[in-house]
Amino acid sequence: MKLEIDESRCKGCNLCTMVCPYRIYQPGKVPNRRGIYVPHLDRPERCPNCRLQQLYGRRLCGVCALMCPDQAIRWVKEKPYEPQKVVIEY
Ligand code: SF4
Ligand code: SF4
């Protein structure tokens, strides 16, 4: 699974940048065509949902998605030909 921010929903409030324990969300530096600074994702493959959601069959952390007032955060399945990044934690 991979983490995505739906740019059409995000309003750039940066709540997600404050709650993620992995600091995956970083404040956006470039405005999009609506003038919104959408956060960018720093190595989102570190998120436990990306790594383990399929193995456990349920969402794990999910704090960011709970906090997002615009339901702009979601996890999507990689396409069949898309490489999947894996992070191993020690
Ligand atoms: S689910 Fe948790 S670890 Fe993953 S991006 Fe959201 S807050 Fe960060
Ligand atoms: S919490 Fe949601 S609306 Fe706010 S910046 Fe993050 S993704 Fe965008």
Give the CATH number for residue 9. 3.30.70.20
Whether residue 90 is contained in a domain is answered as no
For residue 9, what are the contacts with CB-CB under 8 A and spacing of at least 6? 70, 71, 72
- Structural domain count of the chain: 1
Whether residue 82 is contained in a domain is answered as no
For residue 16 and ligand 2, the question of a CB distance below 6 A is answered with yes
- Pair 73, 11: CB distance under 8 Å: no
In the reported structure, the alpha carbon of residue 49 is separated from the centroid of ligand 1 by a whole-number distance in angstroms of 7
Average pLDDT of span 8-17: 97
Question: Which domain, by its residues, includes 15?
Answer: 2-76
pTM above 0.85, yes or no: yes
- For 45-63, the pLDDT digits (tens) are 899 988 888 888 888 899 9
